[in-house]
Amino acid sequence: MKLLEHKKDHMVIMNDDNKIETLPETSYYLLKTLPEYNIYRNEEGRVTWVFSGVGTATETYDRKIFNIEFMGKRFQLRELQADNLCDLILHNNIEGFLKMSEALYQVEHQRDIIESLLAPYANRLYFEPKGVIIDDNFKIGYEGTAYVIDTEKLKNPKVKKDKWNHLCIVPKGIIRKQKIHTPIGEVELSPIMQTILSKVVFLLNPNMKDKVFTDQLPRDLCKCLIDEFGGKHD
């Protein structure tokens, strides 16, 4: 990659295929392109940096994909986070790198962490590749979205997919910061992890007096849950 022109908000380069490219002036491309930032690149032109005493970030052979080494663990950082990482590199922000690494660890070990924290309810939960199923009635996706089973579709033998409908729930109360012990040390649960856990706990003991919640449920399921958990649908 060779810099041809640098203006206020963009750069013009010749890439490794000898083609001309116009690039935005972002943290990543500053580190990748400008001669004065060559200390942030290895001999192959890949962005790399050591956060002293914490870990390293090294760009792979794919542009904007990084391998993160942290506390003896390796994670991969994708394109959408590349500029955030490069901001940390530019400022040698060790604290920011630590928090980013903790978040990446939670993403890669999300299912294991959730299973561990919800172990007391193991007999009521089933962990599938895309989310947590509660009592065969509800599901929380690993992105935090809630679903309720469509009992009508289940009665139709021709329906094999899309048996879940979106469910809007907002667990009451304040979600407090929580720290957990992991192989990389004590880490604070990410917002998405807190969201998943709070929704699972809500659905383990649903508030059947919450009309907004009950109005979204199939009628037969709603009646069963009222019998089990109490409450009244006015």
Q: Which of the four pLDDT bands, split at 50, 70 and 90, describes residue 162?
A: low
Would you say how long the chain is, in residues? 234
Question: Is pTM beyond 0.75 here?
Answer: no
Cβ atoms 165, 83 nearer than 8 A:
no
Match 């192989």 to its residue by tokens. 183
Question: How far is 120 from 118, CA to CA, in rounded Å?
Answer: 6
Domain ranges of the chain: 2-108, 110-229
Q: Give the pLDDT confidence of 147-157 residue by residue, as tens digits.
A: 999 877 667 66
Q: What is the mean pLDDT of the chain?
A: 87
Contact 199, 167 (CB under 8 A): no
8-23 pLDDT, tens digit each = 788 888 777 788 888 8
**17 vs 73 pLDDT, higher one:** 73
For residues 223 and 42, give the distance between their C-alpha atoms in angstroms, rounded to a whole number: 64
Question: Is the predicted pLDDT of residue 234 greater than 50, yes or no?
Answer: no
Which contacts qualify for 48-54: CB closer than 8 Å, 24 or more apart?
A: 49/89, 49/92, 51/88, 51/92, 51/94, 51/97, 52/94, 53/94, 54/94, 54/97, 54/98, 54/101
Percent of the chain with pLDDT over 90: 48
| Average pLDDT rounded to a whole number, residues 78-84 | 93
- Which of 34-38, 62-66, 184-188 is the most confident on average? 62-66
| Three-state secondary structure call for residue 42 | coil
Is the dihedral angle over the CA atoms 225, 227, 230, 234 positive or is it negative?
A: positive
pLDDT-based confidence at residue 138 (cuts at 50, 70, 90) = very high
Q: What is the CA radius of gyration of the chain?
A: 24
When comparing pLDDT for 234 and 137, which is higher? Answer: 137
Quick: pLDDT tens for 34-62: 888 899 999 999 999 999 988 999 999 99
Closest CA to 195 of 75, 106, 90: 106
Contacts with 170 (C-beta within 8 Å, 6 or more apart), sequence order: none
Q: Tens of pLDDT along 87-105?
A: 999 999 999 999 899 888 8
On the question of pLDDT at 215 being above 90, the answer is yes
Nearest-angstrom CA–CA distance, 32 and 21: 13
